[in-house]
């Protein structure tokens, strides 16, 4: 298959009437613009979900503190201890990493909390 490279008159004279397989510049620009808009929408949705999760956690903490302050403080201490254990597991000085389910959960929670905080800081920084 040959690409059309000349003018329509030249192509008609030579018999080369195959359509071009390369997209037109307007099509490429439209694809790039749609890609940027899509990326923006995804970032906006993730940021809003992050802020919503933050507000939900804050609301649950306030409600819990009003109902049972001791249980709320104990739950917060448990989450902090689990995150601290996750930090201890991923520290570079550790050679043999524990492979138990508690280590996996704590490292997963640590990573999820880190990603959540990054999105939250980005959204609050933009506001």
pLDDT, one tens digit per residue, over 93-125 is 666 666 778 888 888 888 888 888 887 777 777
pLDDT at 7: 59
Scored b (16 or more CB within 10 A) or e, 88-115 reads ebeeeeeeeeeeeeebeebbeebeeeee
Question: pLDDT (tens digit, 9 = 90+) per residue, 57-85?
Answer: 889 889 998 998 888 888 888 888 888 88
Instruction: Please name which of 54, 62, 58 lies closest in space to residue 115, comparing C-alpha atoms.
Output: 54
Could you give the percent of the chain with pLDDT greater than 70? 75
């Amino acid at each position: 298959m040959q690409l059309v490279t000349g003018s329509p008159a030249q192509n008609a004279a030579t018999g080369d009437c195959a359509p071009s397989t390369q997209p037109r510049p307007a099509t490429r620009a439209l694809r790039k613009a749609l890609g940027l808009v899509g990326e923006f929408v995804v970032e906006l949705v993730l940021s809003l979900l992050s802020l919503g999760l933050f507000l939900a956690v804050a609301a649950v903490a306030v409600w819990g503190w009003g109902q049972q302050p001791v249980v709320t403080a104990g739950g917060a201490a448990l989450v902090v201890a689990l995150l601290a254990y996750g930090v201890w597991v991923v520290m570079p000085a550790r050679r043999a990493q524990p492979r138990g389910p508690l280590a996996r959960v704590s490292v997963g929670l640590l990573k999820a909390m880190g990603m959540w905080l990054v999105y939250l800081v980005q959204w609050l920084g933009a506001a």
